Amino acid sequence: MFSPKSGTLTDVALVTSLRDGMNLVSYEFVACQDSKKGVLILSEDSVVKLYDFYLSNTCRVILSTDDQIQAPCTPNLDAFAGAAQSLGAGAILVNPWNITEVADSILQALTMSPEDREKRHRHNFVHVTTHTAQEWAETFVSELDDTVIEAKLRTKQVPPPLPEEDAISRYLQSTNRLLILGFNATLTEPVDTPGRRADQIKEMELKLHPELKEALTALCSDRKTTIVVLSGSDQKTLDDNFGEYDMWLAAEHGMFLRLTKGEWMTTMPEHLNMEWIDSVKHVFEYFTERTPRSHFELCETSLVWNYKYADVEFGRLQARDMLQHLWTGPISNASVDVVQGSRSVEVRAVGVTKGAAIDRILGEIVHSKSMITPIDYVLCVGHFLGKDEDVYTFFEPELPSDGLAVARSKQNDGLKLPSDRRPSMKLPVIRSAPKSSQGKAQRPSLNPEKRTANHSCGSGRRASAEKISWNVLDLKGDNYFSCAVGRTRTNARYLLGSSDDVVSFLMKLANAST
Ligand SMILES: O=P(O)(O)OC[C@H]1O[C@H](O[C@H]2O[C@H](CO)[C@@H](O)[C@H](O)[C@H]2O)[C@H](O)[C@@H](O)[C@@H]1O
């Protein structure tokens, strides 16, 4: 490790490790060199070896502190991207086995022009000061979490079908209901509509299921019911499909929020790093050009490459190649999650999930409606990617130690969630959207750690002196219906087969309540 003093005095740092994890020494050196612009010589060998290992084993490797390779699983380059990969553009890269090359590099470093030193240092300094250890650790932990989620989903029991009668009768008995609905493959026409020819290219824009209009209008007009469409789609897609209804729209997995009568605002965590987006877009363009009938969507917080209309087998092969490009290229050091769907590849900023957004959304709804009684019924239906299934577990009462939601027996306790299951709860404020909602004041989000709102009920959008404390949610255990559409491995309590079933259920719900 460099002490600040030795790091500042050093002209050249020669780091020739054969394997490395983060290689903090190199980072420390760069951090100390803002005035001297010393030159970093790095071993390229460690990274090459690890890449070879990765490519030949296609497995996740975790480097422990003593650099032993452990626990194979699924591919992830972030875990072992060494310093040469991160700082390679500013350093002189050498083969540490080649003594002549190492000697030459030392000479090159010692005789380098001040301009060249400055340029190389600037590059590395920007990298070191923007890619913090915290960011690295967050990405690492997020990926470990994903592995656990995936493993748990694989061993889960298939939940029962949605008990429609019970869901309807409880809906009728409750007075403050919240319906959270996904969009794609939940409220849209099924993609694999019978009668569709294999070569037929379906219209790519997502469209609301035509039979849903009446039911949605009826449900939205019920003052006891709040509807949120929580989708990965962008703001325009939701505007186009739901603009006419009186409901909440949560676009890009809840990062943008709007009451259809109001303007878009953002719920995005501050400092979301989006520098990676252009390079990922480049990879997506490359694969879209080479995969007929595939397309990609560019959102503000994510990019989705979709091959649901392409030849599935070819699409899968392309997706596999794409993942390798992404893992070894532009995102290997970025704070992103790569989410693989059955026919899609999605790259998002870390922290962009429906479950992470829902507390901020709830906070805004409670505030905006000036709610003074708890929500006593929640229906959450979607065809969500595993990553977004955290929205189902958000509403679960305390779970057994396996941490998974199961179709459970009756519970009469109000909703309490332990903080150890609530990593996303310490979320920052709702901010005004840059364009449409400028001028809106920032306001702390609801902190439903104990599902208790200490919420502003004043006229402004900032917390006022007048505060009312009450439980935001009072679901009494069984007044919560989470339902996955067209999936069997899920954290939801119940299942519906397709969006046709969702439509039919929502129609029944609307009819029953009018
Ligand atoms: O967020 P929603 O509007 O409710 O849509 C749910 C997800 O839809 C898309 O994923 C789904 O379709 C993909 C193929 O088109 C498939 O690979 C994936 O398994 C499905 O879940 C979309 O890519 C996601 O962003 C949406 O969250």
Distance 185 CA to ligand 1 centre (A): 7
CB 184 less than 6 A from any atom of ligand 1: yes
| Selected residue with higher pLDDT from 423 and 353 | 353
Q: Which segment, 43-47, 87-91, 244-248, 446-450, is predicted with the most confidence on average?
A: 244-248
Check residue 203 and give its pLDDT.
55
Write b or e for each residue in 329-351: b if 16 or more Cβ atoms lie within 10 A of its Cβ, otherwise e: ebbbbbbbbbbbbebbbbbbbbb
Given a contact cutoff of 8 angstroms between Cβ atoms, the answer to whether 297 and 304 are in contact is yes
Q: Which atom, in ligand 1's list, is nearest to the CA of 385?
A: 21
Identify residue 141 by its one-letter amino acid code. V
Q: Is 390 a residue whose pLDDT tops 70?
A: yes
- Residue 113, Cβ neighbours under 10 Å: how many? 8
pLDDT by residue (tens digit) across 126-164?
878 877 777 778 777 877 887 887 787 777 789 999 999
Q: Which atom, in ligand 1's list, is nearest to the CA of 302?
A: 25
Check residue 268 and give its pLDDT.
87
Distance 247 CA to ligand 1 centre (A): 21
Mean pLDDT across 360-389: 92
| Selected residue with higher pLDDT from 248 and 308 | 248
Q: Which atom, in ligand 1's list, is nearest to the CA of 229?
A: 4
Q: Is 64 a residue whose pLDDT tops 70?
A: no
CB 342 less than 6 A from any atom of ligand 1: yes
Mean pLDDT across 66-83: 32
Q: Which atom, in ligand 1's list, is nearest to the CA of 186?
A: 4
**CA neighbor of 245 nearest in space, from 271, 276, 222, 277:** 222
Confidence band, pLDDT 50/70/90 cuts, at residue 410: very low
Distance 184 CA to ligand 1 centre (A): 6
Q: Is 46 a residue whose pLDDT tops 80?
A: no
Could you tell me whether strands 39-43 and 92-94 are parallel, antiparallel, or unpaired per DSSP bridges? parallel
CB 499 less than 6 A from any atom of ligand 1: no
Check residue 191 and give its pLDDT.
60
Check residue 447 and give its pLDDT.
35
**CA neighbor of 357 nearest in space, from 269, 478, 444:** 269
CB 183 less than 6 A from any atom of ligand 1: yes
CB 186 less than 6 A from any atom of ligand 1: yes
Length of the chain: 514
Check residue 1 and give its pLDDT.
61
Q: Is 107 a residue whose pLDDT tops 60?
A: yes
Q: Is 401 a residue whose pLDDT tops 80?
A: no
Distance 382 CA to ligand 1 centre (A): 9
CB 233 less than 6 A from any atom of ligand 1: yes
Q: Which atom, in ligand 1's list, is nearest to the CA of 340?
A: 17
Check residue 253 and give its pLDDT.
96
Could you tell me whether strands 12-15 and 265-266 are parallel, antiparallel, or unpaired per DSSP bridges? unpaired
| Selected residue with higher pLDDT from 139 and 414 | 139
Confidence band, pLDDT 50/70/90 cuts, at residue 74: very low
Confidence band, pLDDT 50/70/90 cuts, at residue 5: low
Confidence band, pLDDT 50/70/90 cuts, at residue 73: very low
Distance 383 CA to ligand 1 centre (A): 7
Sole residue written with tokens 């919420």:
455
Which of 59-63, 286-290, 295-299 bottoms out in mean pLDDT, i.e. has the lowest?
Answer: 59-63
Q: What is the value of ipTM here, to two decimals?
A: 0.95
**CA neighbor of 403 nearest in space, from 80, 152, 160:** 152
| Selected residue with higher pLDDT from 444 and 141 | 141
Mutate to test the pocket of ligand 1, among 344, 353, 489, 498 (most ligand atoms within 8 A of CB): 344
CB 242 less than 6 A from any atom of ligand 1: no
Strand locations in 261-376, DSSP E?
Answer: 265-266, 295-298, 302-306, 336-340, 344-349
Check residue 60 and give its pLDDT.
27
Check residue 192 and give its pLDDT.
57
Mean pLDDT across 395-421: 40
Check residue 204 and give its pLDDT.
65
| Rg of the chain taking only CA atoms, in angstroms | 26
DSSP secondary structure string for all residues of 400-411: PTT---------
Distance 510 CA to ligand 1 centre (A): 26
Q: Is 337 a residue whose pLDDT tops 90?
A: no
**CA-to-CA distance for 11 and 38, rounded, in angstroms?**
5
- Average pLDDT over the chain, rounded to whole? 76
- For residue 42, the surrounding DSSP H or E stretch is strand 39-43
